[in-house]
Structure 1
Amino acid sequence: MKFTEYTVEKVEDPFNILTGNRYEFLIDFTVEEEDELYREQGLKLKVLYIVDDNGPRVSHYHILESDTEKVLEFDLEDEEIKLLQSFCKEHYLEAEEE
């Protein structure tokens, strides 16, 4: 798995019900052609990343086909989740700079 492009936005809580901060990532990524997840049109991850008193973490994610944005029913492997967690931790503050 290789991340190629991304955007990150802070998700506002208009009712101030939730604790901490939430960030939404949209990440384009590629996988090897032999991977069952491979799609010629490309892939995206839609990720909700939370930073609160329990620490930063990926709350949930969806894998999407790039062209249709259809949700694919696949889960990432443990090592891929760790890579995603690390990527989000490294980049979430960019949403604060906007």
Structure 2
Amino acid sequence: MIEIEAYTVEKIKDPFGILAGERYEFKLEIDVAEDDELYVEGGLFIRAIYRVDGDAGRLVKYELYKRINDAFHDFELEDEEERMLESFCGAHFSESEA
């Protein structure tokens, strides 16, 4: 299981109004136990895009990166971890700067 250590959130600007709803980009530094298959030395962070349209929000996509060199880490979270990530983003998207 992953634990979120720190995060930032920014609203993605859509100057042309092409996309429906609003999008938010999260950068979440995560802690992963050494015995987890997701573990890499130096740690990982997640870049996630969360979409809000009216009262509904959902996780659009996420990518894992190695903290040490910002290299893409081709791995997927488990379903439970994805739900936790989506819930976290839903609870914190409003903290972004307007």
1:25 is displaced (CA, Å) by 0.1
- Secondary structure in 1 aligned to 2:36? coil
The TM-score with structure 2 as length reference comes to 0.93
Counterpart-to-counterpart distance in 1, 2:81 and 2:37: 14
- For the residues of structure 2 that align with 1:43 and 1:75, how far apart are their CA atoms? 12
C-alpha displacement of 1:72: 0.9
The Cα offsets for residues 14-33 of structure 1, whole Å up to 9 and x where unpaired, read as: 11111110000000001110
CA–CA separation in structure 2 for the residues paired with 1:53 and 1:10: 15
Does 2:51 correspond to 1:55?
Answer: no
Aligned residue in 1 for 2:42: 41
| 1:82 matched residue in structure 2 | 83
What CA distance in whole angstroms lies between the structure 1 residues aligned with 2:68 and 2:57? 30
Q: Superposed, which structure 2 residues align to 1:1-98 within 5 Å?
A: 1-53=2-54, 55-96=56-97
Cα RMSD, aligned residues only: 1.3
Separation of aligned partners in 1, 2:4 and 2:55? 26
Runs of 5+ unmatched residues, structure 1: none
Between the aligned partners of 2:15 and 2:42, the Cα distance in structure 1 is 36
**TM-score w.r.t. length of structure 1:** 0.93
- 1:71 & 1:2 partners in 2: Cα distance? 19
Change in Cα spacing, 1:61 to 1:38, as seen in structure 2 (3 Å) is same
Distance 1:54 1:70 in 2: 35
1:91 to partner: Cα distance: 0.4
- Aligned CA distance change for structure 1 residues 54 and 89 (closer, same or farther; 3 Å): closer
